Amino acid sequence: MSVFNWLFDRPSRKHPDPRHHANRLAPMPATEPGRSRFGHADSIPSGRFRFIAIDVETACSDAASICQIGIACVDPDDRIETFSMLVNPRMRFDPFNVRLHGIDPDRVADAPCFTDAIEMLMPLLDPHHLLQHSNFDRQAVTAACRSSGLDVPDWRWADSVTIARRAWPELKGNGGHGLANLKKRLKLDFHHHDAGEDARAAAMVVLHAERQLGLRFEDLLKPQPRKTFAAKVTLEGDPAGALAGSVVVFTGALQMSRTEAATRAAQAGMCVRAGVTKQTTHLVVGDQDLSVLAGHDKSSKHRKAEEMRDAGHPIRIIGESAFRALVAGAGEL
C-alpha cells in the first residue's frame, strides 16, 4: 500500500491498520500558529453531570469521517468541563475541511480509530442526555458506527438549536440560530470549529436559554403544547405611561399569553391594536406556525409592517425579548 493511500484513503481490508487496536488517547499536537489554545481536560471526565454536549469534526464530506470528538460536561453547579480527542478516520482529508478546523492526516497519525475512541467514551456518554447543535453530530456518529460495523448507540439526544428557537424566536429570519449568530447575540466566548469549543458553546446556549425562559434543561426537553393564536385583543394605553402615544400590534405566538402582553403594553402607555395601520409604531413578532401562513415565512402583519417601514414609516419590528425589555424599562421611568 502506498504512503499516499495510507494517509488519504481507508486501508484495504486485506491490510488492516496496525493502530486499529490502540488503547490510549493520542496526545493533542502542539498548537499551530494563529490557532488558540484551549483549556480542555487531559483525560476523559468522570462522574454524573446534568447533561453533556457533544460535537464532532469530519475529515471530508463523508459524515463517517470523524477526526475529532469534543464533549462539554455540565455539572450540577453549571460549571462546564470540556474534553477533546483526535480520531484517525482512515479516510481522505479534503482541503476545505482542513482549512476549516486545522486537522490534517499528520495530526491524527497516532490517534485511535473511531471504534476505539467511541469505546473509551461510552462509559461516560451512555448514562447522560446528550446535546448537539443541529442534527449533524448524531448523523456523523451513526454513519461512523455503521462504517465501522458497530451498533449505533441508543443515546438520548437533544438539539440546542430547537432550544434556542424557543428561547429567542426573534432570531428567525434575523441571523438564525446557528452558533455563529448566537455567539454574537449572546456574547459567547469560544473558538468555532474546534470540537471541544463547539460542544462548550452548545452547552452555554442551553444555560443561557434556561435563564431566558426560567426553565431547567429537563423542562426544555418536554414537548410544548401546540400553540394556538389568541383572540384579538385591543386595549387603550395608560395616558400617564412612559410609552403613551405608541401603538403596538402583536403577531405570532408569544411565550406569554396575548392578554398578558397586551396588559403590559397598556400599562406602559401603549395602545394595543389588532392590525397594522399607519398609526402603528411597534410590531412585536412571536413564533410563526408555517402551516397557517399560506406558504409564507412571515405573517401578513409582518410583511405589511416591513413594506411600511421600507416606505419610510417609523415602525419598529421587534421580538418578544425586546418587547419585554421595552415595557420593563418604561416601568422604571
Of the pLDDT bands very low, low, confident and very high (cuts 50, 70, 90), residue 287 is low
Provide the edge-to-edge strand list for the sheet that holds 129-132.
80-86, 66-74, 51-58, 129-132, 156-159
Contact 308, 276 (CB under 8 A): yes
Highest mean pLDDT among 23-37, 243-257, 286-300: 243-257
Number of C-alpha atoms within 13 angstroms, CB side, residue 44? 19
Please give the average per-residue pLDDT across 44-55, as a whole number: 96
User: What pLDDT was estimated at residue 25?
Assistant: 52
Q: How confident is the model at residue 39 (pLDDT cuts 50, 70, 90)?
A: confident
Q: What's the Cα-to-Cα distance from 142 to each of 62, 195, 326, rounded to whole Å?
A: 12, 17, 45
Of 5-9, 130-134, 159-163, 243-247, the one with minimum mean pLDDT is 5-9
Residue predicted with more confidence, 97 or 233: 97
**What is the torsional sign of CA 217, 254, 230, 236?**
positive
| Residue 34 pLDDT > 50 | no
CA distances from 185 to 296, 316, 326 (A): 26, 19, 18
Q: Which three cell numbers stand for residue 268?
A: 406602559
Cell numbers 448524531 correspond to 138
Strand partners, 235: 272
Instruction: Name the strands in the sheet holding 247-251, side by side, starting at the edge strand that comes first in the sequence.
Output: 271-273, 247-251, 282-285, 316-319
**pLDDT tens digit string along 140-188?**
999 999 999 999 999 999 999 999 999 999 898 888 999 989 988 898 8
Predicted structure pTM score: 0.61
Q: What is the mean pLDDT of residues 26-55?
A: 72
Residue with cell 465501522: 148
Span 86-99, mean pLDDT? 96
Question: Among residues 280, 213, 225, which one has the least CA distance to residue 253?
Answer: 225
Spatial neighbors of 161 by CB under 8 A, at least 6 apart, are 133, 134, 177, 178
306-326: average pLDDT: 90
Whether residue 16 is predicted with pLDDT greater than 50 in this model: the reply is no
**3-class secondary structure, 218:** helix
Q: C-alpha distances in angstroms, 4 versus 13, 15, 141, 232, 276?
A: 17, 15, 26, 68, 65
Alpha helix (H) residue ranges in the chain: 3-8, 95-101, 114-125, 136-147, 160-167, 179-186, 195-213, 217-220, 258-267, 300-310, 320-331
Which residue type, as a one-letter code, is found at position 249? V
In which element (H, E) is residue 129 found?
Answer: strand 129-132
Q: Residues of the chain with pLDDT > 90: what percent?
A: 61
Question: 176 with 169: CB under 8 angstroms?
Answer: no
Q: Which of 281, 307, 114 is nearest to 299 (CA)?
A: 307
CA dihedral 80, 137, 188, 32 (to 10 degrees): 90
* Model confidence band, residue 5 (pLDDT cutoffs 50, 70, 90): very low
Residue 190 has pLDDT above 90, yes or no: no
| Sequence letter at residue 200 | R
Could you give the CA distance from residue 71 to residue 120 in angstroms, rounded to a whole number?
Answer: 13
Q: Which pLDDT score, from 0 to 100, does residue 3 have?
A: 35
Q: Which helix (H) or strand (E) holds 70?
A: strand 66-74
206-258 pLDDT, tens digit each: 999 999 999 999 999 988 766 555 557 899 999 999 999 999 999 888 888 88
Tell me what pLDDT residue 184 has: 87
